[in-house]
Amino acid sequence: MYFPAYRARRMRRNETIRSMVRETHLRVEDFIYPMFSAFGKNIRKEIISMPGIFQQSIEHIVEEAKEVHALGIPAVILFGIPETKDPVGQDAYSETGIIQETIRAIKQAVPELTVITDVCLCEYTDHGHCGVIVDGDVDNDSTLALLAAEALSHARAGADIIAPSDMMDGRIDVIRELLDANGFENIPIMSYAVKYASAYYGPFRDAADSTPQFGDRRSYQMDPANRREAIREATLDVQECADFLMVKPALSYLDILRDLRENFDLPLVAYNVSGEYSMVKAAAEKGWIDGERVMLETLLSMKRAGADLIITYHAKEAAQALAKG
């Protein structure tokens, strides 16, 4: 087919034709909304580096969960800010920890909303790393038991999906085994299968109070330069019976999303991380971009790359924008 007999613009003439031949669709059902639950009462503290996102005490989390559900967003993912932190992150796996209490409150108030819980220790340790420190680094194997205990405590509290984000080797297998042994064989695991040591996480660390007190996380999170390694990481999690695979961050790793889509048939999740969100917000505030259009185009790119679901701080405003048509 060659011009002038073939004219590609015929299929772009008006919105009706464009919508008829549209290849990728963004839906409110695609979104998962992150929430930060803080210990205490009457807390609703906006995160300076993430406009519109808050650290909130449980009563405010519940109210926002109702709002999320009313918008048609099917799920939230919870992160916790505990009362106290310690070297082994005890609040993470306490039956009365901040996330465990938040799960119960949401499920009582909005039982239809799917509650996903982040399973990691970085929000709960006084050093800010994702596991037990031995000789100045996170010790993989001694961390696994604590992660599994955290996952089990979340399941007992009523979590619908468990999402380990720590990047310890073997954690999906250990968590799956403990959940199954305790009667939670029907709880899916959403694995942060491919999580890079990214500079895009900066605002999240403000939100979760989880900045490492020494060093960095490059000994356990992936090198941003590596592509083939992502397939190996995802393959291991598939073999250990993960139910979802995730790529984090999303925007600078769309090639990785596409690689996983082409190699695996599990549901694929993109995490539109805090730095990606904050850049759009900052540029829109300065009038440099149309914030809503850039937001929707960014999220659409993740679907086009192969994501089935998107964890995004934009979820509420994206749902509202899509409802406008």
**How do residues 163-221 score in pLDDT, each as one tens digit?**
999 999 999 999 999 999 999 999 999 999 999 999 999 888 777 666 777 667 778 89
Q: In the beta sheet, which residues pair with residue 316?
A: none
DSSP, residue by residue, 131-193: S-EETTEE-HHHHHHHHHHHHHHHHHHT-SEEEE-S--TTHHHHHHHHHHHTT-TTS-BEEEE
DSSP, residue by residue, 256-309: HHHHHHHH--S-EEEEE-HHHHHHHHHHHHTTSS-HHHHHHHHHHHHHHHT-SE
Q: What is the CATH number of domain 23-324?
A: 3.20.20.70
pLDDT 10s per residue in the chain (325 long)?
Answer: 789 999 999 999 999 999 999 999 999 999 999 999 999 999 999 999 999 999 999 999 999 999 999 999 999 999 999 999 999 999 999 999 999 999 999 999 999 999 999 999 989 998 888 888 898 888 999 999 999 999 999 999 999 999 999 999 999 999 999 999 999 999 999 999 999 999 999 888 777 666 777 667 778 899 999 999 999 999 999 999 999 999 999 999 999 999 999 999 999 999 999 999 999 999 999 999 999 999 999 999 999 999 999 999 999 999 999 998 7
Q: Show the DSSP H helices in 77-118 as ranges.
A: 98-109
**Using CA atoms, how far apart are residues 289 and 279, in angstroms rounded to an integer?**
11
CA-closest candidate to residue 231, choices 252, 258, 250: 258
The letter for the amino acid at 38 is A
Catalytic positions: 195, 248
Q: Is it true that the peptide bond before 4 is cis, omega within 30 degrees of 0? A: yes
Q: In the beta sheet, which residues pair with residue 115?
A: 76
Residue recorded with tokens 């990606």: 276
Q: What contacts 239, CB < 8 A, 6 or more positions away? A: none
pLDDT in tens, 92-116: 999 999 999 999 999 999 999 999 9
Q: Where are the domains of the chain?
A: 23-324
pTM comes to 0.95
